[in-house]
Amino acid sequence: MSASLLSWPGETVWLRVDVGLPMAARREAARLARRIGIDEERVGSVEIAATEAATNLQRHATDGALVLRVALEGEHASLDVLATDTGPGIADLAGALRDGASSAGTLGVGLGAIARLADVFDIHTLPGRGTAVLARFHADRDRPYAGGVEFGGLTRPIGGEEMCGDTWAVRYAEERATESDEDPESLPRPVLAMMCDGLGHGPQAARAGEVAQEAFRASRATRPQQVLEDLHRAMRGTRGAAVAVVRADFARGRLEFAGVGNTTTCVVTDGRRASLLSSPGIVGAHLPRARPVSADAGPGSVLVMHSDGLNDRWAADGFPGLFARRPPVIAAQILRDAGARRDDIGVLVLKQAPPR
């Protein structure tokens, strides 16, 4: 029996700002909402939120995109409506969140309405640099995921390609041993997180990513280096990939890492970034015997993994307040500010879920 994935990129639609954005946002958001079983009454709320977010971007943002994504947390699906822009930022965020108050003519119009409609709302703004707004709609509001870890990520293919060679996945590190593991008093179970950059881009890179996904799901390995070995065997005959795997045990404050090829993995704690270094090689072609790397993940730590589609020279202290936000917002702000190269992009963020 193979493990089930907690999460993977899911269907992601990037809509750039242009005159047709509000209509396209409304249509695509409704389509994805229905696809994951959001009921018709809530689909109306999704449409309003997507239209508001799109209209905000169109009227007030320097440039930006609306990202619609089916976000998966175990059995639980949600639709994320994520607005990301390149400025100007919101000077008076509290004012903007008071519906309509004092924010006429700024990006803040409509934020209060979006916040009220969504099951989860989050926002982070950097004056002069840009804002990320998340509105999440659960498919099944009675059954929220409660695995103790929050995760969110973004993938985007290089311009001109339909398929993305960068991908990621999250699963439990071990299958559940006994039913008592479901005991709500017990510590959350460790997870394994993978970031995979299929070499090059286009269909062959995407194929390497798919094989990595399947192998990651099928692997019974509980340690990152073993996972890489399983992926390496499965990916022979593909183009190969750079892959990083982390075993994240936030409840006990421990991370274990193994990576091969050029990707970035780091732990952000109190505005400081600690990088976990990969070994040279290509998973599927040449797998070095990587030494396992351990790291502390103290309270409030955030794990960030991304492909080389993002410049890795961003500084954690350049994002005041960001690492307390939800993972999709963190991913969007880093993606924008780190500086994208002309390549596929993949970014994944994990952190301990807030107590319920």
For residue 335, report the phi and psi dihedrals to the nearest 5 degrees.
-55, -45
What would the x/- binding string for Mn ion be over residues 145 to 184, using CB under 5 A? ----------------------------------------
Which residue's CB is nearer to Mn ion, number 112 or number 346? 346
Which amino acid, residue 21? L
CB of 261 to Mn ion, least distance (A): 9
Residue pointed to by tokens 């193994």: 258
Tell me whether residue 84 or residue 307 sits nearer to Mn ion (CB atom). 307
Other Cβ atoms closer than 10 A to 297: 24
CA distances from 24 to 20, 21, 27, 66 (A): 6, 5, 5, 10
Nearer to Mn ion, 164 or 322 (CB): 164
Residues in 330-349 that interact with Mn ion by CB under 5 A: 343
Run of H or E including 76: strand 76-85
User: By CB under 5 A, is residue 282 in contact with Mn ion?
Assistant: no
Query: Rounded to whole angstroms, how far apart are CA atoms 159 and 50?
Result: 24
Return the number of the residue (108 or 346) whose C-beta is nearest Mn ion: 346
Q: In which element (H, E) is residue 153 found?
A: strand 149-156
The binding track of 300-319 with respect to Mn ion, each residue x by CB under 5 A or -, is -------xx-----------
Number of residues that bind Mn ion (CB under 5 A): 4
Q: Among 19-27, 59-67, 167-175, 197-205, which window interacts with Mn ion (CB under 5 A)?
A: 197-205
Look up residue 286 and give its DSSP letter.
B
The three-class DSSP label of residue 238 is: coil
Q: What are 275's two structure tokens? A: 């990088």
Nearest residue (CB) to Mn ion, 22 versus 198: 198
Choose, by CB under 5 A, the member of 73, 80, 150, 197 that binds Mn ion.
Answer: 197
Summarize as ranges the residues that interact with Mn ion (CB under 5 A): 197, 307-308, 343
